[in-house]
A and B are shown apart, each in its own frame.
Chain A
């Protein structure tokens, strides 16, 4: 298995632009998670899906952030408009049903908003 695949690996954009991050979870996993990691705040859960349905988005910082999961093999995290304080590493993770907290993380997207 290729693991959780994220793209792009790096993204540099200017303030005000729309940013879309992509994630392909491990096949057969029912849960998908989006995280953000910064030096100041560590790793924060933004939102998670179960069977493509958003379950908890309480970690999404603002209305500028949105996430979708149109099917079991693809999810996006969109920031519109982006701001410099959104600069961080964004991770996607997935796990199977009944997998406890055994999550499989992608390699992340390093986002820099200038």
Chain B
């Protein structure tokens, strides 16, 4: 699986958009980009995933560059409850090695009032 690089920490003002970048320059054609977050003392929470098109759901938007070497997770209106560690994970399709998600260090997002 491709390695990902994320900034260790970011701040965001409450109510503003939070843009979390991720580099995955070695991603291959059949690998998806997944985003999870982990709020303190809770289990990881799936946010969104995509292959090459931009994706949006009720939680966030995922913007993947045309060359697929980087992506950005966007929380459109961050709240204090969005304070968490955000993980960008690249995984291939298919059932082989399922569940072996490498969470890495992630980005600690601090949403401030």
- Interface on A for B, CB 8 Å cutoff? 4, 31, 33, 42-43, 45, 48, 50, 56, 91, 93, 100-108
Which residues of B sit under 8 angstroms from A101, Cβ to Cβ?
Answer: 32, 34, 49, 89, 91, 98-99, 101
Which residues of A sit under 8 angstroms from B98, Cβ to Cβ?
Answer: 31, 48, 101
Once the chains are docked, how many angstroms separate the CA of A69 from the CA of B43?
21
- Are A102 and B42 in contact, CB atoms less than 8 angstroms apart? no
Once the chains are docked, how many angstroms separate the CA of A58 from the CA of B20?
33
Which residues of B sit under 8 angstroms from A100, Cβ to Cβ?
Answer: 32, 34, 49, 91, 93
- Interface on B for A, CB 8 Å cutoff? 32, 34, 42-46, 49, 89, 91, 93, 95, 98-101, 103-104
Once the chains are docked, how many angstroms separate the CA of A107 from the CA of B39?
10
- Are B43 and A108 in contact, CB atoms less than 8 angstroms apart? yes
A31, A45, A50, A91: the one contacting B43 at CB < 8 Å is: A91
The A-B contact count (CB < 8 A) is 50
Residue among A100, A101, A104 facing the most chain B CB atoms (10 A cut-off):
A101
Once the chains are docked, how many angstroms separate the CA of A43 from the CA of B89?
13
- Are A106 and B99 in contact, CB atoms less than 8 angstroms apart? no
Once the chains are docked, how many angstroms separate the CA of A101 from the CA of B104?
16
B34, B91, B101: the one contacting A43 at CB < 8 Å is: B101
- Are B42 and A103 in contact, CB atoms less than 8 angstroms apart? no
Are A48 and B32 also in contact (CB < 8 A) when A102-B49, A105-B44 are? no
Once the chains are docked, how many angstroms separate the CA of A6 from the CA of B93?
28
Q: How far, in Å, is B77 (CB) from chain A's closest CB?
A: 24
- Are A107 and B93 in contact, CB atoms less than 8 angstroms apart? no
